Amino acid sequence: MAWIALLLLLEWEISSLDKPYISLFERYAIHVSRIVAYIFIIYSAYQYTTDEYVLENGYLDMFNAITWLLIVAIIEYDLYYPGGFYKIEWYIRNFVKIALYSALFVIVVLW
């Protein structure tokens, strides 16, 4: 549920980038809701890294959770620091994106 809430909040932010916030409440509600979603997401990702979980289920879930967290970090970066990238930054960002989405593809195949 936290992932779905986060995706909906990111979509809301992206779709209204060129518009001002309706009110101060809207601005803070979006940011506080995203922070709460991230807390739940990071907590659940942490659960995949515990020794008990890894011994029982292997490393694949842990790699999947970490990969998704990194993808969301890149999306956040693109959302709040758009355009004006230096050429090297653009190449690094795209390389990281390709690497992360490729990792997800490998994880799906391994599952």
Distances (CA, A) of 12 to 7, 45, 51, 69: 9, 24, 37, 19
What torsion do the CA atoms of 10, 46, 95, 89 make, to the nearest 10 degrees?
70
CA atoms within 13 A on the CB side of 109: 6
Predicted confidence at residue 60, as pLDDT, reads 92
Predicted confidence at residue 17, as pLDDT, reads 65
Predicted confidence at residue 109, as pLDDT, reads 95
Predicted confidence at residue 111, as pLDDT, reads 86
Identity of residue 100? L
pLDDT of the chain, 111 residues: tens digit per residue: 888 988 888 887 777 666 776 778 877 888 899 899 999 999 988 999 899 998 998 899 999 999 999 998 888 888 777 766 678 888 888 899 999 999 999 999 998
Predicted confidence at residue 84, as pLDDT, reads 64
